[in-house]
Amino acid sequence: MSLRHWLQLSLTDGIGPILIRRIVDAAGSAAAACGASATLLREIEGIGTAKASKIHQSMRAAAEEVDKELEAAEKLGVSIISQEDERFPLLLRSIPDPPAVLYLKGNFEPRDLNAVAIVGSRKCSYYGREQAERFGALLAGAGVTVLSGGARGVDSSAHRGAMSHPQGRTIAVLGSGVDVPYPPENAGLFEQIAAKGAVVSEYPLGTAPMKENFPRRNRIVSGMSRGVLVIEADERSGALITARQACDDHGRAVFALPGRVDSPTSAGPHKLIRDGAALVTCLEDILDGLGPLPQEAHEVSVFEPTAPATPQAAEPVTIAYDAGLTERQRIVLAQLDGEPVHIDTLIDRTALAANEVLQDLTLLSLKGFVKRVDGQTFVKRSV
C-alpha cells in the first residue's frame, strides 16, 4: 500500500519533492499524508491558506489516477518504486529533495551505489565525445556505474562508452516520462541501456520533455552519484547546474576535464577548475577524489566477477571487513602490506591484466581492505 500513497503524492498537482516531504513529516506517513485535511495542509511551510484547498482537491483527484498509472506501467514493463522501497537508491534518498517515486526501466543493482556521473554539452566537439566515451569505458572497467542524462553529445557518448565494456553498467536519467524518449533519436540507445542498466525518471508516464523538467532531472543525476565529471560545457550549461548541486547541495566530488582555451565549451570546465573542482586527465584522478561511501553502504551488497575466466559471472559479496573475497582479490591483497605499493608493481607481481587489478583495487577499497595513498599507490588497511 505504501507505493500507492507515494504515487498519489507524486501525481498531485501543486506539490513537489520538498512539499511532499514536509506533508509526510507533518502527517506521520505517506498514507496519512494522502488523507491530510486542508487544516493540516495550511499549517505546513510553503503551503498556507491560499494553496491548501487546491492541494487538498488535487490530492483527491490524484487518488483516482493511481490505478491507471500502475496499469500503464505494468503494460510497458516499467517498475515504480517509492522512497520506502529497498531498491530506491541509497545516495538519492539522502539528498534534501528526493523524488517521491522513480519510474524504472531495467534494474538497479547494489553496485550502482558506486556511481559517477558524466555530464556536458549537447553540442560538444569531437574531443568532447571522444573523452566522454573514453572515461565512460574506463570507469565501467573499474567497476563504476556511469550515470548521465541521456541527452545528445556528452551524455550519449558516456553511456555508449560504459556499455562498450563487457561488464559495464550505465543509468540514464530522463527529463520526460520513461516512455517518451528524448531526444527521439536515442530511443534505441535507451533500450540498450535498459537491457544493461537502467533508464529512470521521476515524471509520470507520458510526460513531455519540457524545459523546466531538466534542472530537476539534474539533481537526480547528481544525487545518485558519488561524484560528477564535467566534459565540455559553456558557462550557461545545465552541466554546471548539476556540478553546483553536486557540490553545494549534495556534498559530492566535482571533477572537470580541461579543454582548448579558445573553445567556448571549455569555459565551463575551466571555471569549475578555478573554483576548486578537481582537474582530471586520467581515471585515477577520479577514483582518488571520490568521497567515502555513506556508513549505511557497509551493509549493502555488490556484484563482482567471480574469476578472470568467467568475467560475466557474478555473485553477491557484502561490503564489510569480514566480506568474502574472490580468488583474484586475494591475490591482489596478498601483495599489499604496511608500505604503499604502486599499481604497476601490483600488476607485475600478480601477472594480472591492468584493468583487472584496477577493478579489484576499487572493490577492495569499497570493502575497506585497501586505502588509496594517491592516484597510483595503495596500502593495506589494518583491520
pLDDT in tens, 314-343: 333 333 333 467 888 888 888 887 788 888
- 282/340 same-domain check: no
Same domain, 253 and 326: no
81 falls within a domain: no
Q: Tell me the pLDDT tens digit for each residue of 257-308.
A: 999 888 999 999 999 999 889 999 999 899 888 855 654 454 443 333 333 3
pLDDT tens digits for 205-264? 999 999 999 999 999 999 999 999 999 999 888 899 899 889 888 888 999 999 988 899
Quote the mean pLDDT of the chain. 87
Q: How far, in Å, CA of 345 to CA of 355, rounded?
A: 14
Same domain, 278 and 141: yes
170-183 burial code (b ≥16 CB/10 A, e <16): bbbbbbbbbbbbbb
Q: Using CA atoms, how far apart are residues 133 and 85, in angstroms rounded to an integer?
A: 33
One domain, residues 38 and 172: no
Q: Is 91 a domain residue? A: no
Residue type for position 334: A
Q: In this structure, are 53 and 128 located in the same domain?
A: no
Judge if 309 and 184 occupy the same domain: no
What pTM, to 2 d.p., does this model score?
Answer: 0.79
State the total domains in the chain.
Answer: 3
Are residues 229 and 316 both part of a single domain?
Answer: no
User: Is the CB of residue 195 less than 8 Å from the CB of residue 107?
Assistant: no
Asked whether residue 149 falls in the same domain as residue 240, the answer is yes
Give the CATH number for residue 46. 1.10.150
pLDDT tens-place string over residues 86-121: 999 989 998 999 999 999 999 999 889 899 999 999
Mean pLDDT to the nearest integer, 187-202: 97
Of the three residues 35, 64, 93, the one that is the final residue of a domain is 64
At 245, list the grid cell.
548541486
Q: At what angle do helices 343-350 and 327-334 cross, to 10 degrees?
A: 120
Question: Do 327 and 232 share a structural domain?
Answer: no
Q: Has residue 227 been placed in a domain?
A: yes
Per-residue pLDDT, averaged over 63-85, amounts to 96
User: Of the residues 64, 85, 116, which one is the last residue of a structural domain?
Assistant: 64
The CATH number of whichever domain residue 371 belongs to comes to 1.10.10.10
Domain containing 47 equals: 2-64
Q: Does the structure show a pLDDT above 90 at 312?
A: no
3-state helix/strand/coil string of 362-374: HHHHHHCCEEECC
Is 204 found in the same domain as 109? yes
CATH number at residue 171: 3.40.50.450
Asked if the structure places residue 79 within a domain, the reply is no
Query: Does residue 97 fall inside a structural domain?
Result: no
End of a domain among 253, 268, 289? 289
For the cut 70, the answer to whether the pLDDT of residue 83 exceeds it is yes
- Residues 6 or more apart in contact with residue 34 via CB below 8 angstroms: 5, 8, 9, 59, 63
- Kindly state whether residues 117 and 219 are assigned to the same domain: yes
* Residues 143-150, mean pLDDT to the nearest whole number: 95
Residue 312 lies in a domain: yes
Q: Are strands 278-279 and 253-257 parallel, antiparallel or unpaired?
A: parallel
Residue 203 lies in a domain: yes
Q: One-letter amino acid identity for 372? A: R
Same domain, 257 and 319: no
Does any domain span residue 279? yes
